[in-house]
Amino acid sequence: MDLKGLFDKYIENQNKLSTLKDAYLKQGLINQEILGEMVSIATLQRSLFEENETILNDTVYYYKKNKDEINDEVFKNLQGFANRLALLLNQKDTAIAFIIHELLLDYAYQKKNKDYIVQEAYYKGTILLYLDSELYLEEARETFCLVKAFKDDYFDLKRESRSLFNRAYANIYVTYCLTDFSNYQDIFLVSEEIYNFWMDERVQMNDLDFPFYRWIFLMKNNTLDIISTDIYDQGIEKKYVDYVLDCANEVYNHARTLVKDTSLPVEGICQFYYYAAKYYAKELSLKELLEKTELLTYPLPEDRYSFESRTRTIQISAFYIRFLDKMADKPKAHKLINETIKRVKNYISEMPFSNQERQISRDIESFINIVADKIDEKEAFKLILELTVYCHFPTYVHITMVANIALTILKYAINEIPNYFVGMQGINSVKDVFSYSHRLVDITYNASLLHDVGKFYCLDYIGNFGRKLTEREFNIIKSHPERGYALLKKAKIDEKYIEASLYHHIWYDGTNGYPKNKSIDNLLTKPIIDIISISDAIDAGTDTIGRPYAKGKTLDSLLDEFEAEAGTRYSSELVALLRMKDLNRELKELITIERENISIRTHKNFTSK
C-alpha cells in the first residue's frame, strides 16, 4: 500500500476544498451566475468528498480495523500524516489526526515504547483540546496525565520526547485554567508542582535548550484568565490575589520589553490584565480601571482587523462591559454598555467574510456570554442573532429557510388540525387557536430563528472538511441544542422562544434523538417544536446548494421517509398534512425558488463586506 501517495492525494483534495469553499463569494455576479457557481462547486465538492472517503477507508480506517498490521514504518507514516493534517491544513482536519494518534497510542503501549507513548499522549491530548475544549476537557487532562507516569524515566527519554513531556505537563495546567475557577486553589497547586519539576537542577542541566522559563511565563499568562471570571466577586484569598498581580506585572513588563519603547501601547490584553489585577488588589479604583480599559477597546488604526484589533474590540470590550455593570450609576452604565455593544456589532458586521467566519466562534463567544445577561431581553435576542447565526452564511440561510417552512406548515395546521394546538399557552379551545393565531406565528417565527443558535459553538464542523463527520465531531454537533439553550437561558430570553433550541432534535415520541434524558412531556410549546423539527428536516434533506457533502432529495422522497417514521420521529398529524396538495406545492416552491432567492440575497450581503 502506497501510504505516502494516498496521504498526498488526500492533502491535495483538502487544499482544493479549502479553495472552493469561498470560490463563489465574488462581487458583481448576476443571480443565475451565483446559482450556477454554487451548484457546480457543490458538485465538485461531493466528488472530492467521495474520493477522500475512499482514501480514509483504505488507510486510517483500514488500520483501525487491522491493528496487528501496524509496524514501526506504518507508525511513522501515520504519525507524519496526522501532523500534516493538524498543521499544514491550519488545524481544519484534526478529527482524523485524533483517530490516528489514538490508534498509535495503543500501538505504543503494545510495544511498551516509552518515547512513543509520551509523543502520542501529547498529540492526542492536544487535539482533544482543539476539537472541543469544553466537551473533551476532562479526557484531555487524563491523556496528558498519562505522561506523568514517566516522570521517573524522564532522563531515559529521547530529546524530542522530553520536550513533548514538558509540553504535556504544562498542558495539564492549561486544562485546569479552562475549568471552573471556583477550585482556583487546585490550579495554583498544579502550577507549583510543575514549577518545582522544571526548577530541578538535574532537569535544567539535562535540557539546556528547552525554554523552561518561557513556559513558566506562559503558565503565568494563562493564570491571568482567572481575571476574566466572576471568582473575585465571590471572594478569593489575598495570597492568590497577590500571586495573580505578580503574574500580571511580569506579563505586562515582558510585553513592554518586547516593543522596546515604553511610550508605545503594549499588547492590549496584557494591559487590561495588568489594570484589572491592580484593581482586584485594591491598587486601582473602579473609575481608574474603566478609564484605562475603555481606551483599549478600539481597533488599531493601522490594521483594523488584525488579531490584536479583534482582541481589543471584541474581547476587551466584553471585559469593559462587565466592569461597567459594577458602576453605582446604573443609568450611565446602561448607556455606556449599549454604546459599546453597538460599536462591537458594527465592527463585526463590517469584518471581511473570510476573517469573520474563521474567528467568530473564538472571538465572539466570551463577548456574548459576558454581556447577554446585562441587557434586556429584546436587546439580547437581537444581539445573539446578529453575532451568531447572522454572521455565518450556511446557518443564516438554514434558519431563514426553516422559519419560512415552519410558518407555511403552521398556516395549514391552524386551518386543518386546530386541535393540535389546544393546550398551548392560553389556548384552551379550537376557538382560541384562531383568536390567538398571531401568537402562534410569533412563537414559531422567533423560535425558528433561535433554534440553531448553539451551532455557533460548532462552526468549525458545519463545513465538514470534505469527508464524513467522525463520531467525535458528530458529538460536538449534537451538543448544540444544550449549548444554545444555555446561552439563551442566561440571556433571559422568554422560555416559549427557546424551548425549540433544546428539543428540536428529540423525536416526537421522546424515544430517541438528542440531547438524551430530556423529557418532552408537558411542554407548552411542543406543537411548535414538532413543526420546527419537521421543517428542519425538510430543509436539510432537500438542500442541493448549501450541503455539498450530501445530494439533496426531492420533497416527495423525503415525505416517504417521514411516513415510515410517523408517530415515532415525527408527528403523524403533521406528516399527513404535508401530503395536502396546496401545502405540498407551496413547500416545493420554498425549497427551490425561495431557497435560491435566499441564497442569492445572502451571497450579496456577505460579498458586500
- Secondary structure string (H, E, C) spanning 217-238: HHHHHHHHHHHHCCHHHHCCCH
Q: Is 298 exposed, middle or buried (0-12, 13-18, 19+ CB in 10 A)?
A: middle
The confidence score (pLDDT) of residue 355 equals 46
Q: Determine contact, residues 305/356, Cβ cutoff 8 Å.
A: no
Q: Give the cell for residue 399.
A: 434558519
Question: Average per-residue pLDDT in the chain?
Answer: 87
Average pLDDT over residues 13-34: 69
Backbone angles phi, psi at 300, to 5 degrees: -75, 130
pTM above 0.75, yes or no: yes
The confidence score (pLDDT) of residue 27 equals 61
Q: Does residue 25 surpass a pLDDT of 60?
A: no
pLDDT in tens, 520-555: 877 889 999 999 999 999 999 998 776 656 677 899
Residue 298, classed as helix, strand or coil, is coil
Taking residue 379's Cβ as centre, other Cβ atoms within 10 Å add up to: 16
Query: In which band, very low, low, confident or very high, does the pLDDT at 169 lie, cut at 50, 70 and 90?
Result: very high
pLDDT in tens, 297-316: 999 988 888 888 988 999 99
Query: CA torsion sign, 77 to 79 to 82 to 88?
Result: negative
Query: In which band, very low, low, confident or very high, does the pLDDT at 239 lie, cut at 50, 70 and 90?
Result: confident
Query: In which band, very low, low, confident or very high, does the pLDDT at 484 lie, cut at 50, 70 and 90?
Result: very high
Average pLDDT over residues 234-252: 88
Q: Give the cell for residue 27.
A: 462581487
Backbone angles phi, psi at 57, to 5 degrees: -65, -35
Taking residue 53's Cβ as centre, other Cβ atoms within 10 Å add up to: 15
Q: Give the cell for residue 185.
A: 486553589
Residues 6+ apart with CB under 8 A from 77: 3, 4, 7
Average pLDDT over residues 183-188: 80
Average pLDDT over residues 159-188: 86
Using CA atoms, how far apart are residues 367 and 341, in angstroms rounded to an integer? 9
Using CA atoms, how far apart are residues 547 and 343, in angstroms rounded to an integer? 34
Residue 574, classed as helix, strand or coil, is helix
Query: In which band, very low, low, confident or very high, does the pLDDT at 253 lie, cut at 50, 70 and 90?
Result: confident
Q: Is 364 exposed, middle or buried (0-12, 13-18, 19+ CB in 10 A)?
A: buried
pLDDT in tens, 319-375: 999 999 999 999 999 999 999 999 998 888 787 755 445 455 667 777 888 888 888
Q: Does residue 88 surpass a pLDDT of 60?
A: no
Of the candidates 464, 455, 446, 457, the residue with the CA atom closest to the CA atom of residue 402: 446
366 or 505, which is more confident: 505
Calculate the CA dihedral of residues 438, 439, 445, 451 and round it to 10 degrees: -170
Q: Determine contact, residues 479/451, Cβ cutoff 8 Å.
A: no
DSSP result, 134-194: TTSHHHHHHHHHHHHTTSTTGGGS-HHHHHHHHHHHHHHHHHHHTS-GGGHHHHHHHHHHH
CA 479 to chain centre: 10
Query: In which band, very low, low, confident or very high, does the pLDDT at 580 lie, cut at 50, 70 and 90?
Result: very high
Using CA atoms, how far apart are residues 193 and 187, in angstroms rounded to an integer? 10
Residue 513, classed as helix, strand or coil, is strand
Of the candidates 22, 52, 168, 34, the residue with the CA atom closest to the CA atom of residue 469: 52
Per cent of the chain over pLDDT 70 is 91
Question: What's the chain's length in residues?
Answer: 609
pLDDT in tens, 44-85: 888 888 999 999 999 999 999 999 999 999 999 999 999 888
Of the candidates 576, 556, 582, 559, the residue with the CA atom closest to the CA atom of residue 420: 576
Using CA atoms, how far apart are residues 380 and 385, in angstroms rounded to an integer? 9
Q: Determine contact, residues 164/126, Cβ cutoff 8 Å.
A: no
Taking residue 339's Cβ as centre, other Cβ atoms within 10 Å add up to: 11
Average pLDDT over residues 486-507: 93
User: How many Cα atoms within 13 Å fall on the side-chain side of residue 196?
Assistant: 7
C-alpha distances in Å from residue 192, one per residue of 149, 187, 188, 189, 496: 18, 9, 6, 5, 49
Residues 6+ apart with CB under 8 A from 209: none
pLDDT in tens, 442-455: 999 999 999 999 98
DSSP result, 315-346: IIHHHHHHHHTT-S-HHHHHHHHHHHHHHHHH
Residue 300, classed as helix, strand or coil, is strand
The confidence score (pLDDT) of residue 455 equals 86
Using CA atoms, how far apart are residues 436 and 510, in angstroms rounded to an integer? 28
Q: Give the cell for residue 604.
A: 450579496
115 or 599, which is more confident: 115
Of the candidates 62, 97, 105, the residue with the CA atom closest to the CA atom of residue 81: 97
